[in-house]
Amino acid sequence: MLPFITATTYLTALREGGSLPGLVEADDSGTYVVKFTGAGQGTKALVAEIVVGELGRRLGIKVPELALIDIDKELGRREPDEEVQDLVKASVGLNLAIDFLPGSVGYDRSFDIDPADVAPIVWLDAYVANVDRSARNTNLLIWHRTLWAIDHGACLRFHHAWGSPEAFARSPYNYADHVLSGRGNPRTVHDRLSAQVSEQLLDEVLELVPDDWLLPDPDRPDPKAPPDAAAARAAYRTYLAMRLAAAERWLP
Ligand SMILES: Nc1ncnc2c1ncn2[C@@H]1O[C@H](COP(=O)(O)OP(=O)(O)OP(=O)(O)O)[C@@H](O)[C@H]1O
Ligand SMILES: [Mg+2]
């Protein structure tokens, strides 16, 4: 299970993020970046954060610790910004907390990084079809001189329109748009990483997602969406296992 914490103070909005994440203090005295269930991106973005972030962690990629955070309706009360107030009100209950890395800076290609960190990130992004690691928006942080991966909410796009897992499994990856492209070849780590992605490992990361976030979204009807949490976990496992088996279609 992911750790469970309770928000105590809303510190500030992180306006550079499209989903208006908040910097929040919690009852464990930690400071977290909170991604809200009430944001326009919906709970699917949070599912992708957990599944891809925790998969990455198990493959040795540095990802800030994740936790589930309880948000009370009073949390945004003193926030002058109405947009923030509305977002907090729409997000009462469980949300996703990401350990805040103080003093980190956004990565760009001028930073020296450990070449060993590169290929696993490119491999993971190609595997889960991450379109959000471009030079414009790298979603990589430098913290203590090392590379950390954040923002996996746009991965696993198949869950926005459930259909045939084959199409997702066989779709090529656009390496040209990846900020680390040319710096590390995913083929060099494919045998090692793909051997680790067992059905058991996929089940383990899917278990970390709260059931409620896996239910069909009433605001975005999808006739092919899995009807309940168990069916959803089985569907994610099928899509991800099939894409792994079709690696020759998406490796460079
Ligand atoms: N764990 C963290 N530690 C420090 N800063 C962070 C952390 N997570 C996010 N940030 C900062 O907040 C910004 C927004 O976060 P993130 O990219 O996850 O949000 P988003 O709403 O999904 O953004 P996007 O506009 O890229 O979709 C990041 O670019 C980064 O500057
Ligand atoms: Mg981002």
Please state the domain extents for the chain: 4-99, 105-250
- 76 pLDDT more than 90: no
Dihedral Cα 133, 135, 137, 139, nearest 10 deg: 50
Distances 23 to 2, 13, 144 between C-alpha atoms, Å? 19, 6, 20
What pLDDT, on the 0 to 100 scale, is given for residue 78? 84
What pLDDT, on the 0 to 100 scale, is given for residue 191? 98
Is residue 102 within 8 Å of residue 72, measured between CB atoms?
no
If pLDDT is split at 50, 70 and 90, which confidence band does 167 have?
very high
What pLDDT, on the 0 to 100 scale, is given for residue 144? 96
Q: How far is CA 92 from the centre of its chain?
A: 21
For the CA of 98, the nearest ligand: 1
- Sign of CA pseudo-dihedral 200, 44, 185, 238: positive
What residues pack around ion ligand 2 (CB closer than 5 A)? 139, 151
- Do the strands 140-143 and 105-106 form a parallel or antiparallel pair, or are they unpaired? antiparallel
Q: What is the pLDDT of residues 93-116, one digit of tens each?
A: 999 999 999 999 999 999 999 999
Determine the straight-line distance between the first and last CA of the chain, rounded to whole angstroms.
Answer: 35
Burial class (CB in 10 A: 0-12, 13-18, 19+), 121: buried
Ligand 1: which atom is nearest the Cα of residue 21? 21
Residue 69: half-sphere exposure toward Cβ, Cα within 13 Å: 34
Percent of the chain at pLDDT > 90 equals 94
Q: Report residues whose beta carbon is within 6 angstroms of any ligand 1 atom.
A: 14, 16-19, 21, 33, 64, 98-101, 104, 106, 137, 139, 141, 150-151, 153
- 119 pLDDT more than 90: yes
Q: What is the pLDDT of residues 31-61, one digit of tens each?
A: 999 999 999 989 999 999 999 999 999 999 9
Distance 112 CA to ligand 2 centre (A): 21
Distance 16 CA to ligand 2 centre (A): 8
**DSSP helix/strand/coil, 202:** helix
Residue nearest to ligand 1 atom 14, measured at CA = 17
Q: Find the length of the chain.
A: 252
Tokens of 93: 């209950």
What pLDDT, on the 0 to 100 scale, is given for residue 77? 85
Return d(Cα 71, Cα 93) in angstroms, integer: 5
Residue 142: half-sphere exposure toward Cβ, Cα within 13 Å: 11
Mean pLDDT of the chain: 96
